[in-house]
Amino acid sequence: DQQVKQNSPSLSVQEGRISILNCDYTNSMFDYFLWYKKYPAEGPTFLISISSIKDKNEDGRFTVFLNKSAKHLSLHIVPSQPGDSAVYFCAASGSGGSNYKLTFGKGTLLTVNP
């Protein structure tokens, strides 16, 4: 059973507009959530994270929102730039001896058009 779900395989937006990538999770033991960005032929790189004790975390153009009751998080990119075009993975981890293993979603391919 997939514990982290990214239901949109792809998203296309215009440069300068907002990109919103969504992620849902099912495991109530997850208490830390991360977004990774991946370019072709490269490994994923960390983008932004949020702890379950918060509902928002902002870093420059990137903001992650967490709705614990809905088990939903989203990544907002404002304004979107062509260099943001990549696959974005949502990931989650739990505490309590899990060694902070990450469970990833399937990813969303973001294309930002000039």
Q: Which residues bind another protein (CB under 8 A)?
A: 4, 6, 9, 32, 34, 36, 41-46, 49, 89, 91, 93, 99-107
CB 43 within 8 A of CB 100: no
Residue 98 CB, shortest distance to another protein, in Å, is 10
Residue 71 CB, shortest distance to another protein, in Å, is 18
Residue 19 CB, shortest distance to another protein, in Å, is 19
Q: Is 20 helix (H, G, I), strand (E, B) or coil?
A: strand
Whose Cβ is closer to another protein: residue 20's or residue 48's?
Answer: 48
Whose Cβ is closer to another protein: residue 13's or residue 33's?
Answer: 33
Q: Is 45 helix (H, G, I), strand (E, B) or coil?
A: strand
Residue 2 CB, shortest distance to another protein, in Å, is 9
Q: What are phi and psi of 3, to 5 degrees?
A: -90, -25
Whose Cβ is closer to another protein: residue 43's or residue 114's?
Answer: 43
In angstroms, the Cα distances linking 91 to 16, 81, 82, 112, 113 are 26, 23, 23, 22, 26
Q: What are phi and psi of 12, to 5 degrees?
A: -125, 130
